[in-house]
């Protein structure tokens, strides 16, 4: 659902440089301590300690069902936690909903739209719900938001005739009617074609460059790697790790890549020297090298000593996908 501007009243494995200490006085836009939510006998979110630095584009990453949307609903005051605490923009939630939500733009679980109204009229309704919005400039704000998400041409259509992707765009336009300190997006590219996904990612970067902190939930690794500065990984309701995207990707061991016309001989030598998960594709041999930078020179020397003609030798950087699999043992969606 898309929040109107005003509403009525796992435990982390330490990363190399966590995104703030949830218990510290650091300038975090979102902080949680032991945040948990139980639905009957099912623990949907389990002891979440999360810290979102001001000015970041923060990716909240995890497979569908990992607790991301439940967490966001608690942060926005839509549901109360079973245990633990959360602060948003320095204020406790859900106690501070009336004071906090006017400073937050949000798109959660898809937009809640009036199907019988046009896209333009829907945005006017959202804007009218904001007591800080000047009604004299409403028309300009609505037009600017529609233009920003590429819906100006469809503004006069009834929302019921919108595709899923168009509804997502309209929900995002509602969140962008006014400048906000924090933008919370739950799977914002859901239902969009590849071009639409690229446009929304560009828009997220643009909003962040204007000084808004963006908290973006996604099950798409590619989305997080392309857009976000920081990320947290969720699995089965628990926080696995958090940090900068570069730090999280660095947790994944890189792949050794050897290019040679003597691939079979190279594979044999590498196996004898501790390289695992070997795979040969034509003149290229890949595998996981022994840990430590000191392991690489002896591998290259062994290949040369064995008469292997080495045309290329290096380690390919690990990806966020590699890091996720290494941390959780689970597969993942890379690009949907």
For 262, 268, 279, the CA distances from 276, given in Å and listed in that order, are 18, 11, 9
More confident residue, 52 or 187: 52
Do 260 and 171 share a structural domain? Answer: no
Q: Which of the listed residues 203, 231, 250 is the one where a domain comes to its end?
A: 250
Mean pLDDT, rounded, for 2-20:
36
The reply to whether omega before 94 is within 30° of 0 (cis) is: yes
Do 162 and 183 share a structural domain? Answer: yes
Do 293 and 209 share a structural domain? Answer: no
Distance of CA 319 to the CA centre of its chain: 15
Total of domains in the chain: 2
Q: Which of the listed residues 250, 273, 299 is the one where a domain comes to its end?
A: 250
pLDDT tier for residue 5 given thresholds of 50, 70 and 90: very low
Domain membership of residue 119 (yes or no) is: yes
Name the residue range of residue 225's domain: 28-250
Q: Is residue 308 predicted with pLDDT exceeding 90?
A: yes
Domain membership of residue 326 (yes or no) is: no
For 200, 204, 250, the CA distances from 228, given in Å and listed in that order, are 13, 9, 15
Do 281 and 176 share a structural domain? Answer: no
Segment 19-78, tens digit of pLDDT: 334 444 468 999 999 999 999 989 999 999 999 999 999 999 888 788 999 999 999 999
Interior CA angle at 133 toward 128 and 137, to 5°?
95
Cβ contact 319:206 at 8 Å: no
Q: Is residue 108 predicted with pLDDT exceeding 90?
A: no
Spatial distance between the Cα atoms of 303 and 283, rounded to a whole number of angstroms: 14
Q: Across the chain, what does the average pLDDT equal?
A: 84
Do 234 and 144 share a structural domain? Answer: yes
Cβ contact 137:112 at 8 Å: no
Mean pLDDT, rounded, for 123-136:
92
Do 225 and 259 share a structural domain? Answer: no
Q: Check residue 290 and report its DSSP letter.
A: P
CATH number of the domain that residue 285 is part of? 3.30.70.980
Above pLDDT 70, what percent of the chain?
85
Do 96 and 72 share a structural domain? Answer: yes
Domain membership of residue 277 (yes or no) is: yes
pLDDT tier for residue 260 given thresholds of 50, 70 and 90: very high
Mean pLDDT, rounded, for 219-224:
79
- Written as six digits, the tokens of 183 are 């933008």
For 128, 176, 250, 263, 264, the CA distances from 286, given in Å and listed in that order, are 59, 46, 18, 10, 12
Domain membership of residue 202 (yes or no) is: yes
Q: Which of the listed residues 198, 230, 250 is the one where a domain comes to its end?
A: 250
- Written as six digits, the tokens of 243 are 């940090």
- Contacts of residue 295, defined as CB under 8 A and 6 or more positions apart, other chains included, come to 274, 289
Cβ contact 79:44 at 8 Å: no
Domain membership of residue 17 (yes or no) is: no
What was the pLDDT predicted at 53?
95
Do 154 and 224 share a structural domain? Answer: yes
37-69: burial string, b at 16+ Cβ within 10 Å, e else? beeeeebbbbbbbbbbbbebbbbbbbbeebbbb
CATH number of the domain that residue 180 is part of? 3.40.50.300
Mean pLDDT, rounded, for 86-109:
92
Do 153 and 291 share a structural domain? Answer: no
Do 305 and 283 share a structural domain? Answer: yes
Neighbour-count burial of 189, counting CB atoms closer than 10 A to its CB (0-12 exposed, 13-18 middle, 19+ buried): buried
Distance of CA 301 to the CA centre of its chain: 42
Cβ contact 77:101 at 8 Å: yes
Cβ contact 191:111 at 8 Å: no
Domain membership of residue 145 (yes or no) is: yes
Q: Can you tell me whether residue 145 is helix, strand or coil?
A: helix
Do 298 and 208 share a structural domain? Answer: no
Cβ contact 186:67 at 8 Å: no
Domain membership of residue 159 (yes or no) is: yes
Domain membership of residue 7 (yes or no) is: no
Do 103 and 231 share a structural domain? Answer: yes
């Amino acid at each position: 659902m898309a929040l109107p501007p005003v509403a009525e009243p796992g435990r982390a494995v330490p990363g190399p440089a966590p995104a703030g200490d949830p218990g510290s006085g650091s300038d975090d836009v979102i902080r949680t301590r032991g945040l948990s939510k139980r639905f009957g006998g099912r623990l949907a979110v389990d002891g979440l300690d999360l810290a979102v630095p001001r000015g970041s584009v923060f990716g909240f990453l995890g497979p569908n069902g990992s607790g991301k949307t439940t967490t966001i609903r608690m942060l926005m005051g839509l549901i109360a936690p079973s245990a633990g605490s959360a602060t948003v923009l320095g204020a406790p939630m859900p106690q501070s909903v009336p004071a906090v939500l006017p400073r937050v733009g949000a798109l959660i679980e898809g937009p809640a739209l009036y199907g019988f109204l046009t896209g333009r009229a829907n945005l006017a309704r959202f804007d009218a719900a904001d007591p800080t919005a000047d009604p004299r400039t409403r028309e300009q704000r609505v037009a600017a938001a529609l233009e920003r998400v590429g819906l100006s041409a469809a503004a006069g259509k009834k929302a019921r005739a919108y595709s899923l992707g168009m509804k997502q765009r309209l929900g995002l336009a509602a969140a962008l009617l006014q400048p906000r300190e924090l933008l919370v997006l739950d799977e914002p590219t859901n239902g969009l074609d590849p071009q639409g996904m690229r446009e929304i990612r560009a828009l997220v970067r643009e909003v962040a460059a204007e000084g808004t902190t963006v908290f973006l939930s996604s099950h798409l690794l590619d989305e997080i790697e392309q857009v976000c500065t920081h990320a947290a990984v969720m699995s089965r309701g628990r926080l696995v790790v958090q940090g900068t995207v570069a730090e999280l990707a660095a947790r994944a061991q890189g792949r050794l890549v050897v290019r040679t016309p003597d691939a079979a001989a190279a594979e044999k030598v590498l196996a004898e020297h501790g390289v695992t998960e070997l795979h040969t594709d034509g003149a290229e041999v890949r595998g996981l090298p022994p840990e430590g930078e000191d392991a690489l020179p002896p591998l290259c020397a062994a290949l040369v000593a064995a008469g292997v003609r080495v045309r290329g030798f290096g380690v390919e950087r690990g990806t966020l996908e590699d890091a996720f699999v290494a941390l959780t043992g689970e597969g993942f969606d890379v690009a949907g």
